[in-house]
Amino acid sequence: MTGATQTTMDTTALKRDIYGLFINGESILSESGRTMNTYNPATGEKLAEVAKASSVDADQAVAAARHAFENGKWKKYPIGKRAKVLHKIADIMRERFNEIVELEILDTGKSLAAAQGQVTQAIENFEFYAGAIVGHRGTVNPMPGQFHNYTEKEPVGVCAQIIPWNYPIMMASWKIAPAIAVGCSIVVKPASLTPLTAIVLGEICSKAGVPAGVINIVPGSGSEVGNYLVEHLDVDKVAFTGSTPIGKDIMASASETLKRVTLELGGKSPNLVFEDADIDAAIAGSLFGIFYNTGQSCEARSRLYVHENVYEEFLHKFVEKTKQLKLGNPFDEGTHIGAIIDENQLKVIDGYVKSAKEDGAEILAGGKPAMIEGFENGYWYEPTVISGVTHEMTVVKEEIFGPVVIIMPFKEEKEAIKLANDTEYGLGSAIWSTNDARIKRVGGAIRAGIVMVNCPFSAFPGTPFGGYKQSGFGRELCIETLDLYTETKSILSYYGQRPINPFGI
């Protein structure tokens, strides 16, 4: 490589004062010498300094990925050998589990339980794809006469992967594991607010045996590095998780070079509680559905619709339980709600709540930034429940990305379905009912990629994750994801004794 500062950095400690770019198997500084700071959202204090990639660095990362793909051995490895490396990545992550969890908490402000669960799933993702690729193969197709046809699955090439700040380690694994499992080379741009565990994951992959150049990590701004990768002629595919407006921009830019694109975008997910539901279970699951990860989830069930016959009971209990949620030290096991990612997002959340008040809605719990003893300089927001809303209100229509839920009653099943679908998004949804026929009807009628039934969880390795409408397209976390990183090649052969002469001349 030329241009980049060739200072190899110590990567034995996951927690360090400065983090480099990870390009062609080396941890290096940016060619420009630029750095950016990352902060602990719980305290507001500087956490570390991170090399800030430029377009020159991004170009070097793409070149390294292209060279590794065209000339390297990774895509030629037998499936079993690639699977063995993916298992080794998981093994190293397990060995360093507590270190990774600590770093994720410091970089995001999320609770201990949330970080532990997400690191665990990141590990399981690599194990899942190590197994999934064994069965990911072409087909032999019936043909007439002396013809024979079969297909092969080939890696699509160099992939740019852009991940968000709300689930850094988990989203990195969602992107990296399937791409390298099928033999692609990748350039990952982590979010500028939370780049640390993605950088560390790249280093761990290298230690596990992924060859140099196959995985490259370039933290930097979306406007410079992200856009550059999307427009780069040597990038074959873009995978993006983030907001719908940015997803639209990426799709438009990628169209110039006809790149393959998958988009996992925003959401405003409905949560339907019917009169025959187990109310206590629905309350517990609905609390998790909106307040998990401090509400900073694309599939957060932020629109809560409850049948009028049980509305008052549900509302009272739900508000009381919301007030019992604990905000505080993210490392305390009893903490339910972590910090908001930064001051700007805190202001965005508070702006939505204030707009709801101005529109005449009622704040039943929370409704303002929180002051946490010992964490006075961090970014915190009270878990907030809003009633008295209409579907025309901004707080009902737009994604808030914080611990804020609106709650409304409904009269009948058809109305519940209409309310659920009255959104431009279509990512997650939840149904609480003990009526199997209703569950099947409503689940089939909701226009969303994920339907959670009597369950607050939306994602396990092997379960397709993705949306309808303006929540994007493509599926992650599942076997189908492998197809998004491969091309299907059809090979048609003739084995007849006589030569084919279609024109007869």
CATH assignment of 18-265+471-489? 3.40.605.10
CA distance 406 to 361: 9
Among 31, 104, 203, 264, the active-site one is 264
pLDDT at 10: 61
Q: Which CATH class is domain 270-453?
A: alpha beta
Among the residues of 218-310, which ranges form H helices?
227-231, 244-255, 279-291
Q: Which of 298, 299, 476, 478 is catalytic?
A: 298
**Quick one: which H or E segment has residue 344?**
helix 343-358
Helices 97-108 & 168-181 angle (0-180, nearest 10): 120
Contacts of 437 (CB under 8 A, 6+ apart): none
Mean pLDDT per segment of 10 residues, for the chain of length 505 residues?
48 88 97 95 97 98 98 96 98 98 98 98 98 94 94 97 98 98 98 98 98 98 96 98 97 96 98 98 98 97 98 98 98 97 98 98 98 97 98 97 98 98 98 98 98 96 97 97 98 92 91
Task: Respond yes or no: is residue 264 known to be catalytic.
Answer: yes
pLDDT for the residue numbered 351: 98
User: Could you report how far apart the first and last alpha carbons of the chain are, in Å?
Assistant: 56
Q: Where in the chain is the domain with CATH 3.40.605.10?
A: 18-265+471-489
pTM, to two decimals: 0.95
The gap from C-alpha 34 to its chain's centroid, in whole angstroms, comes to 27
Whether 154 is catalytic is no
Q: How far is CA 52 from CA 143, 171, 243, in A?
A: 55, 20, 22
Residue 5: the pLDDT is 46
Q: Is the dihedral angle over the CA atoms 319, 320, 321, 327 positive or is it negative? A: positive
What count of Cα atoms within 13 Å lies in the side-chain half-sphere of residue 16? 17
Domain with CATH 3.40.309.10 in the chain: 270-453
215 forms beta bridges with 186
